[in-house]
Amino acid sequence: MYQLIDGKIISEQVKAEIAEEVKSMMAAGKKRPHLAVIIVGHDGGSETYVAGKVKDCGDCGFTSTLTRFEDNVTEERLLEEVDKLNNDENVDGFIVQLPLPKHISEDKIIESIDYRKDVDGFHPANVGRMVIGLPCFVSATPSGIIELLRRYEIETSGKNCVVIGRSNIVGKPIASLMMQKGYPGDATVTVCHSRTKNLKEICLQADIIIAALGSPEFLKADMVKDGVVIIDVGTTRVPSTETKSGFKLKGDVDFANVAPKASFITPVPGGVGLMTRIALMKNTLLAAKKEIYG
Ligand SMILES: NC(=O)c1ccc[n+]([C@@H]2O[C@H](COP(=O)([O-])OP(=O)(O)OC[C@H]3O[C@@H](n4cnc5c(N)ncnc54)[C@H](OP(=O)(O)O)[C@@H]3O)[C@@H](O)[C@H]2O)c1
């Protein structure tokens, strides 16, 4: 019988811990943690994510500030805003919600953020520090996955870990974290992508599979061995007649058939996504406490 890795329970637990810590900070006369968010345009997905982030800040006892720009904002104007937040002593950390309109270079914007306030963990300084094992802001999704492994005390040392996907926001950073010295880490990591030839054989050797490719129900039961740990990162909207919205979220794993072979498995929704949300709050708290960069 498999154990469900419940992102809802764990994310609520982490949120309560953060809120508790903020209360103690307040009692000690410290400043309330402050996250600022910049949103550009009216992309439906971005609006939903940002609303969630503002709500999470409230739940955690943080101050949040939202700055909106229209789609036609210039790169120069956005860079000015980033500079303002970099120098605003009241703001502990901030994010620029992605994606940005095509005429704005995301790389340029990310690199202009002071890495000490980069609570999204996308700045090359934070990514580089993560790779060499230095304290840093780890980006939200890999950070959430690591938290789940830790809270469920899943053994990673010496395990074969297969990561499917090599994106900068999930595949590469989680592969890097799983191979770091210490727990959770010390795994033997293989990264698969669209050019990988013998993916099924590689997956059959895996003790832990982290699926982050964005292909609904890609990982089938005949691709995994008994006792495997499954972390499903995929979230693809597929049309559905069962929901009011007319769509539902599907993971990259054929849950119904893979779960009976697994020892631990995350559901979609209710797994990694909720942890991703709370990871930003954790980074904001770390920024407010100046725990990483002093
Ligand atoms: N739950 C969350 O909080 C969260 C957060 C982020 C992302 N996601 C979800 O996670 C999924 C992946 O996101 P992403 O941003 O990492 O995606 P991405 O940038 O599109 O990257 C997908 C990766 O999967 C690889 N891939 C695609 N098809 C493959 C196949 N048939 N076999 C092997 N590898 C294949 C690609 O290979 P190439 O590099 O060769 O093209 C690429 O490296 C999406 O469903 C996304 O919505 C969820």
- For residue 294, the model assigns a pLDDT of 85
- 65, 37 contact by CB (below 8 A): yes
Note if 120 is an active site residue.
Answer: yes
Atom from ligand 1 closest to the CA of residue 166 = 43
Give percent of the chain with pLDDT exceeding 70: 100
Mutate to test the pocket of ligand 1, among 11, 122, 147, 170 (most ligand atoms within 8 A of CB): 170
Distance in Å, CA 6 to ligand 1 centroid: 22
Distance in Å, CA 233 to ligand 1 centroid: 8
Structure token digits, residue 294: 């002093």
**What are the C-alpha distances in Å from 288 to residues 25, 36, 62, 92?**
10, 12, 10, 5
| pLDDT tens digit sequence for 140-192 | 999 999 999 999 999 999 999 999 999 999 999 999 999 999 999 999 999 99
Q: From first to last of the 294 residues of the chain, give the pLDDT tens digit.
A: 899 999 999 999 999 999 999 999 999 999 999 999 999 999 988 999 999 999 999 999 999 999 999 999 999 999 999 999 999 999 999 999 999 999 999 999 999 999 999 999 999 999 999 999 999 999 999 999 999 999 999 999 999 999 999 999 999 999 999 999 999 999 999 999 999 999 999 999 999 999 999 999 999 999 999 999 999 999 999 999 989 989 999 999 999 999 999 999 999 999 999 999 999 999 999 999 999 998
Note if 114 is an active site residue.
Answer: no
190 lines ligand 1 (CB under 6 A): no
What is d(CA 17, CA 61) in angstroms, rounded to the nearest whole number?
Answer: 11
139 lines ligand 1 (CB under 6 A): no
Note if 172 is an active site residue.
Answer: no
Find the distance separating the first CA and the last CA of the chain, reported in whole Å.
Answer: 46
β partners of residue 230 = 209, 265
User: Given the structure tokens 């590689």, which residue do they identify?
Assistant: 202
Distance in Å, CA 251 to ligand 1 centroid: 11
The whole-model pTM stands at 0.97
272 lines ligand 1 (CB under 6 A): yes
167 lines ligand 1 (CB under 6 A): yes
Strand order in the sheet with 34-40: 63-69, 34-40, 93-96
Distance in Å, CA 214 to ligand 1 centroid: 5
What is d(CA 116, CA 290) in angstroms, rounded to the nearest whole number?
Answer: 9
Active-site option among 15, 97, 207, 282: 97
